[in-house]
Amino acid sequence: MYVYGHKLPALSSLILWALLWEVVGRLGLTFFIPPFSEVLVTLVGLIPTPAFLNALFVTAYAFLAGVFFAIAIGIPVGILMGKNRILDELLLPWVNIFLSAPLTALVPVLMVLFGFGTRTVIITTALFAIWIIILNARAGVRQINRSLVEMARSFGASPMDAFVKVYFWAALPEILGGVRIGVIRAVKGVIIGQLLISIVGFGALFELYSSKFLMAEFWAVLTVLFGLAFALSEFLAYLERKVSYYAAAR
Amino acid sequence: MQPIKSDTRRAVTETDSAVSVRNVSKVYGDVQALKDLSLEFPRGELTSLLGPSGCGKTTLLKIIAGLLEPTSGQIEVNGAKVTGPGPDRSFVFQDFALLPWASVIRNVAFGLELRGVAKSEREAIAEKYIREVGLAGFEKKFPHQLSGGMRQRVGLARALSVNAQVLLLDEPFSAVDEQTRRKFQEDLLELVKTEKKTFIFVTHSIEEAVYVSDQIAILLPRPSRVSEIIRPSSFRDKSVDNIRRDPEYLDIVDRIWASLRSYVE
Ligand SMILES: Nc1ncnc2c1ncn2[C@@H]1O[C@H](COP(=O)(O)OP(=O)(O)OP(=O)(O)O)[C@@H](O)[C@H]1O
Ligand SMILES: [Mg+2]
C-alpha cells in the first residue's frame, strides 16, 4: 500500500482496523466488543495459562494429525486418479460431492461413530482438507506433458521411478496449491469439530468464555487463531512461490 | 526415378542392419498412419525419414523406440524383436522433453540416473557430452534459462550419454535459427563419424536430409509407406564446406523436391 508516495510495510492497513476496533470498544456500544487494547492485555495474560496451552496443544495435535492424513492419503490418491481412468471414474463423483458438501453436518454422525474426543476432531480435520488436495494432485498429474512421460519410459524408468522422479515433481506446483487451500480448510475443520464436540481444545475454551460472557478472552483466543491460520497460509504460499520458477515453463 | 546406386560402402553394410522395420502398420482409431511399411537401417549410418507433415514420421520413430505398439508387423533391433523401450535405443524428442525442475547436468544425466549409475560417475559422463554439444558452462542452469536451440542440445546430450547403439532423432534441429542449424548439421556429420552409431533422423528439410544422410527414405502421406530410398554416394567423403556445391547434392535435392511437390500443391 502507498500513502503519498511512501510505501507502507505489508499489513499496515491492519493497524487502521485495530484503531477502529479500539474506538468502537471505547465507545462502549456493546459488551460484545471490548477495546482492542483490552483484548491484547488479556491475550498476553492468557497465553501462559495451562488452560490455553493445553487447548493449543490439543488443537495443534489434532490439526497436524488431520493434515498429515489428508496429505498422505490425498496426494497419492489424486496422482493415481490422474493416471488411471477407471479409478478416476469411480472416485471423481465422490470427491466432487464431498468437496462441496456441508461437512459440518457430518460431524454429529462422526461423533456417534468415533466418540466425543480427539479422534473425531482429527477425522473432521482430514475430511475438510483432503478433497481439494486430491483434486489438485489429480489436475497436476493430468496436465503433465506427455512427452515427459514418454521420455522417462524410453530411458527405462520403472513405474516407481516415474512416480517419484517425474509425476510428483511435474504435479508439485498444483499439489502445493491444493495443500495450501486444504490446510486453510483444515483450520476450519479442527475448530468446527472442537466447537461441535465442545469439550476439547479451543472448543471447550470458547464454550466456557461465551457462556460466561468473557468477551475479552473470547476475542483474544480468536485473534490467536486467526493469526496462526494466516501465518500458516503465508508460509505455504511462500513454498508455492519456490516452485513457481518451473510451474510456468512446463 | 532410379534410386542412386552407392559405392563400396553399400556392399559392406548391405546385410548388416541395426534396425529392420518389417511390414509395419499403425492405425489410430480411423486414421491409418502407416501401412505395410518396411525399411532397413544400416548399422553405423545415418538414415533420414523425409516426408510431408502428418505422414507418420514421429509414429514410425516411436514404434522403433518401443513407445508405441504397431497394429501389425514388427521391428527388429540387432536381430531381436522390439517389445518395448530398451537400452539399445535412445530418443531425442521433437519438443525436447526436459525436466523443468532439474538443472542441465541432471537432465543430461537423467537417462543414466534411471539406469542406476552412481551420481559422480553419471555426472562425469554428462559433463563430457555437455561439452560435446557446446553447452560447457551451462551445467547448473535450468531449462527455462536456455534458448530453444540450447534446450534441444540438452536433449541431444542426454540421448548420447546413455551410449545407446541406435539414436532416434525427431526433428532435433527444428528450434534453431538457420546459422545454428548449419552448425548442428556439421556437428551431426562429425558425430556419425566419431560415435559409430546408427542414427535415425526425422526432418522436414530436403536440403538437411541430403546434407547429413547416408540414406534417405522418402515417405508419402497417409497411409504412408516408403516411396523411395536414395543413397547419396559421391559427396559423403568430401569436406563439409564443399557438399552444398556438389552436383550430385544439388541433383538429389531437385529430384526429391520433384517427387514431393505434388503433395504440397
Ligand atoms: N495419438 C494419436 N491419435 C490419433 N491420431 C494420431 C495420433 N498421433 C498421430 N496421429 C495421426 O497420425 C498421423 C501421423 O502422425 P505423426 O505425428 O507420426 O506425423 P509426422 O510425420 O511426425 O508429422 P510432423 O512432421 O508434423 O511431425 C497424423 O495424421 C496424425 O493425425
Ligand atoms: Mg512429427
Domain of A124, CATH number, reads 1.10.3720.10
Over the stretch B5-57, which tens digit does the pLDDT of each residue have? 444 444 444 558 999 999 999 999 888 889 899 999 999 999 999 988 888 89
Give the start-to-end residue ranges of the domains of chain B: 16-88+166-265, 93-163
Nearest C-alpha in B relative to A148: B97
In this structure, is residue A79 part of a structural domain? yes
- A154-168, A189-203, B33-47: least confident range: A189-203
Over the stretch B189-232, which tens digit does the pLDDT of each residue have? 888 888 889 999 999 889 999 999 999 999 887 667 788 899 98
In this structure, is residue A156 part of a structural domain? yes
**End-to-end Cα separation, chain B, in angstroms:** 20
CA B59 to ligand 1 center in whole angstroms: 6
- Ligand 1 pocket residues where CB is under 6 Å: B 28-29, 31, 33, 53-59, 222
Q: Which residues pair with B49 in a beta bridge?
A: B202, B217
In this structure, is residue A35 part of a structural domain? no
How many Å apart are CA A126 and CA A111, to the nearest integer? Answer: 15
Instruction: Please count the structural domains in chain A.
Output: 1
CA B62 to ligand 2 center in whole angstroms: 10
In this structure, is residue A54 part of a structural domain? no
Contacts of B104 (CB under 8 A, 6+ apart): B130, B135, B138, B139, B140, B141, B142, B143, B146, B154
Confidence of residue A62 (pLDDT cuts 50, 70, 90): very high
Query: Which among B114, B143, B162 has the least Cβ separation from residue A152?
Result: B114
How many Å apart are CA A161 and CA A149, to the nearest integer? Answer: 11
Q: Which of B114, B119, B174 to mutate to test the interface with A (most CBs of A within 10 A)?
A: B114
Tell me: domain B16-88+166-265, CATH 3.40.50.1220, correct?
no
pTM: 0.79
Contacts of A133 (CB under 8 A, 6+ apart): A70, A71, A74, A75, A78, A175, A178, A179, A182
Give me the pLDDT at residue B244, please: 82
Smallest CA-to-CA distance from B76 within B48, B49, B46, B39 is with: B39
pLDDT at position B1 over 50 = no
3-state DSSP helix/strand/coil percent for chain B, to nearest 5?
40, 25, 35
Q: What ligand is nearest to the CA atom of residue B67?
A: 1
Beta strand B215-219 with B46-50: parallel, antiparallel or unpaired? parallel
Residue range(s) defining the domain that contains residue A206: 62-247
Nearest CA to ligand 1 atom 23: B54
Backbone phi, psi, residue A101, to 5° = -70, 150
Give me the pLDDT at residue B59, please: 93
pLDDT at position A94 over 90 = yes
CA B52 to ligand 2 center in whole angstroms: 10
Give me the pLDDT at residue A126, please: 95
A39 in Cβ contact with A223 (< 8 Å): yes
Confidence of residue A1 (pLDDT cuts 50, 70, 90): low
ipTM, two decimals, is 0.84
Dig out the grid coordinates for B127 from the structure.
559433463
Backbone phi, psi, residue B135, to 5° = -115, 15
A206 in Cβ contact with A195 (< 8 Å): yes
Smallest CA-to-CA distance from B91 within B214, B200, B193, B215 is with: B200
In this structure, is residue A235 part of a structural domain? yes
In this structure, is residue A228 part of a structural domain? yes
Query: Which among B85, B93, B143 has the least Cβ separation from residue A156?
Result: B85
In this structure, is residue A101 part of a structural domain? yes
Closest ligand 1 atom, CA of B52? 25
Over the stretch A127-156, which tens digit does the pLDDT of each residue have? 999 999 999 999 999 988 888 999 999 999
Backbone phi, psi, residue B22, to 5° = -120, 110
How many Å apart are CA A228 and CA A224, to the nearest integer? Answer: 6
Query: For all residues of chain B together, what is the average pLDDT?
Result: 87
Closest ligand 1 atom, CA of B26? 12
Is A147 close to B142, i.e. CB distance below 8 A? no
Cα separation values, A186 from A108, A111, B225, Å: 17, 17, 59
Mean pLDDT of the A65-73 span? 96
Q: What ligand is nearest to the CA atom of residue B60?
A: 1
A81 in Cβ contact with A170 (< 8 Å): no
A48: left (phi over 0), alpha (psi -120 to 50) or beta: alpha
Is B114 close to A250, i.e. CB distance below 8 A? no
Nearest CA to ligand 1 atom 18: B56
How many Å apart are CA A228 and CA A233, to the nearest integer? Answer: 9
In this structure, is residue A122 part of a structural domain? yes
The larger pLDDT score, comparing residue A243 to residue B157, is at B157
